[in-house]
Amino acid sequence: MRANIKRMLILLVLVLSYLPFQTALADMGPKPTMDFTFAQEFPGTQVKIVTGALFECAQADCSDAKPLMEAGPQRFTCEANSCHALAYGFSDYHRIEIEFSDGQTRQSNIFKTSEFNAHYKVLIRQADLLVEPQLTLGAFSPLTYILLCGCCLLGLVIIVVSVILLIRRKKQ
């Protein structure tokens, strides 16, 4: 009788470990991002970003450029020395246009989307901007790696415990 209760308890724990902790919500998946860090090429007073816009293009020459529409979490925002874009999905080609504290509005070269969570270095030049992709090796944040390792370890423990229980059961 006691062995049956133990088996039922272990089976219950195994089943419960595979159930989700909360219900799924719509539109909660990851969205692509772009991070831009700026560096000034020319000497003099460091210029700061006043405002900016990210233009999306389907054509390689950006003849069909349209600003990234602000909708829900989708937007392009800038701070003094950096900009960030989050979208439901990006076009293949882009161009940024930034107004700086020196009163000049500079436009970038046309660049392609480089990664799902892309990082770009933007060189501020006298008349324009040069955007260069910065490839990163980290596909996930450190916390995500920790969670993935934890889940794998939990799965491994469940498999080992199940195998041990099956071996014991066959011996009896």
The predicted model gives 142-169 an average pLDDT of: 85
pLDDT at 9 over 90: no
Q: Which residue has the tokens 């405002």?
A: 51
Read off the pLDDT band of 149 (50, 70, 90). Answer: confident
pLDDT at position 139 is: 58
Of 25, 78, 26, 31, which Cα lies nearest the Cα of 52?
78
Residues contacting residue 139 through CB under 8 Å, at least 6 positions apart: 116, 117
Residue 97 has pLDDT above 90, yes or no: yes
What is the DSSP secondary structure assignment for residue 109, as one 8-state letter? P
Query: Regarding beta strands 105-107 and 111-112, do their DSSP bridges make them parallel or antiparallel, or are they unpaired?
Result: unpaired
**Closest C-alpha to 169, from 42, 4, 29:** 4
Q: Encoding tokens for residue 143? A: 């916390």
Which residues, 6 or more positions from 57, have their beta carbon under 8 angstroms from its beta carbon? 63, 64, 65, 66, 91, 92, 93, 94, 95, 110
pLDDT in tens, 22-63: 665 566 678 899 999 999 988 888 999 999 999 999 999 999
Helix (H), strand (E) at residue 168:
helix 142-171
Per-residue model confidence as pLDDT tens digits over 76-95: 999 999 999 999 989 999 99
Q: How confident is the model at residue 102 (pLDDT cuts 50, 70, 90)?
A: very high
